[in-house]
Amino acid sequence: MIAIDAAPRPLPLQIGYVLRRFPTRSRTFVTNEILALERRGHRITVLALNTRPEDLALAIPGAAGRPVRRLSQGASRRWPAALLWLLRAHPLRLARTLVWVLSRPRRYLWRVFTRAVLVARQAERDGLGHLHAHLLMGTDVAWMTHRLTGIGFSFTAHSANIFVPKKTVLLGPELCDACFAVTVCESNRRLMATYAPAAFKKIQVIRPFLRRALLADPPIGRTGEGNCPLQLVSVSRLVAKKGVEVLIRAVKRLSDRGIAVQTTIVGDGEERARLTALIESLGMAGQVSLPGATDAAGVQALLAAADCFVLASVRADNGDSDATPTVLGEAMAMRLPVVSTQIGGIPESVPEGAGVLVPPDDPQALADAIAAVAALSPEERRRMGARGRAFVEAHWHPDKDAERLDALFEHAMRGRSTDNPRPGRLLTTRASP
């Protein structure tokens, strides 16, 4: 592992966060991370590669009031000037990178290159000393910006970067060139290392950043007294890897057994119409609701009113999978028992006694786990929730994790020269296109 000194530093860092879009409702962990670093005094500039009208309309706490460079706006006008600047400032790097991109028949790499040209020029204008990226497009663009300019870069890998074979083509070179890499669980770390074994010590495990407000003393949820049905809540995008269909079928099995549960599945996505039709066909409209997406305050209110949190993650047909879903930490911070699956980093994130984990894609096993939680007394469920809360405070706290990430940035920026560093070779390993 990288040796890091977590002592506070007197000077702020100037870091650019390269993101495909900002903000987005389903990835508030990035906003939480930025806020945590800013509380430590650093200047974070967001470099958003694409912008949709709904991004501008989102009112996500903490997402406003900071520099956001929306590079897709006016890109056709600004791109030639940015390319000319690169030709003057880094001609050899530009030539090598352009030849490499054009020699590979992948239109995606050209899109990455065009965005990297804009990021390179913007990073120079803003005086950024380092780039950090999240998720696939952001990471690929930050890496190519590094190839074009020599600026140090790092990235946080989540799911598609690691699990989807068609999308991992650059992971090996990125690990080799990065100052450090972050991922959200130890199982991800081991898998990432197979793409670049020599980079294993660069890869750090830091769980997704939670909202600091959740670590204030939250209200204790329902007690489930009397004959009221068990209140289940699930928060996820309505996409294949979240296993929402498995949850719906599990609730149907519970209903057939006479176990009363009321299930609210919060989120939106491409599978909404199919899942709505499934609920109707099973006659479960009175017991399962899909109210759509909501904001962080809405999620917190739903968690506070629930008896149990459920996330039925599976592995999608394209290989994509959950690693460490942020919402598990949110639910445990709210002192809820959790029911989830034995996939990715979930077993690392839910300690014994805080929840029940079952094999993925198994509606019967999921139904049995929910039934086991339903059979507990309210006091027993509160004890489960207390164990999860203690685990989050010890291992998933945004201030503690910000200190670790802060030290990684400081180590990276102190340890490399940015004065025309010698360009490395564009790798053509197993992970290359």
Do 171 and 263 share a domain, yes or no?
no
Length of the chain: 433
> Is residue 221 in some structural domain?
yes
| Model pLDDT, residue 146 | 98
- The span from the CA of 212 to the CA of 283, in Å, is 40
Looking only at Cα atoms, what is the longest distance across the chain?
74
What's the pLDDT at 338? 97
Nearest to 160 by CA among 5, 286, 305, 321: 321
Sheet of 355-358, strand order: 288-292, 261-266, 230-235, 308-310, 338-341, 355-358
pLDDT at 209: 94
Please tell me the distance from the alpha carbon of residue 371 to that of residue 177, in angstroms, as a whole number. Answer: 49
Q: What is the pLDDT of residue 285?
A: 95
CB 185 within 8 A of CB 205: yes
Q: 3-state SS of the chain: helix, strand, coil percent to 5?
A: 50, 15, 40
Clarify whether residues 330 and 201 are in a common domain: no
Residues 130 and 224 grouped into a single domain: no
Same domain for 33 and 167, yes or no, is yes
CA distances from 337 to 14, 23, 27, 119 (A): 40, 29, 23, 43
Do 96 and 159 lie in one domain? The reply is yes
pLDDT of residue 66: 66
**Residue whose structure tokens are 């120079």:** 124
Q: Which residue has the tokens 């719906």?
A: 248
CATH of the domain at 41: 3.40.50.2000
Which tokens go with 151?
A: 């600026």
- The number of beta carbons lying within 10 Å of the beta carbon of residue 409 is 23
Q: Which helix (H) or strand (E) holds 233?
A: strand 230-235
pLDDT of residue 357: 98
| Residues 206 and 184: beta-carbon distance below 8 Å | yes
Sign of CA dihedral 115, 120, 125, 128: positive
Residue 431 lies in a domain: no
pLDDT at position 71: 94
Q: What is the DSSP letter of 207?
A: P
Please state whether the predicted TM-score (pTM) of the whole model is above 0.85: yes
- Give pLDDT, residue 27: 82
In a domain, 354, yes or no: yes
Beta bridge partners of 289: 264
Answer yes or no: is 88 within a domain: yes
In a domain, 117, yes or no: yes
Q: Are residues 204 and 316 in the same domain?
A: no
Same domain, 387 and 405: no
Please list the ranges in the chain whose pLDDT falls under 50: 1-10, 417-433
Asked if residue 172 and residue 44 are part of one domain, the reply reads yes
Domain that holds residue 316: 213-395
Cβ neighbours around 41 below 10 Å, total? 13
Q: Same domain, yes or no, for 71 and 191?
A: yes
* Residue 163 identity: F
Closest by CA position to 279, among listed 231, 232, 313, 247: 247
Half-sphere exposure of 163 (CA within 13 A, CB side): 21
Number of domains in the chain: 2
Q: Are 195 and 243 members of one domain?
A: no
pLDDT score for 28? 86
> Within a domain: residue 7?
no
Same domain, 371 and 408: no
Determine, yes or no, domain membership for 203. Answer: yes
Residue 361 resides in a domain? yes
| CB-based contacts of 356, cutoff 8 Å, min separation 6 | 337, 338, 339, 369, 372, 373
One domain for residues 55 and 132:
yes
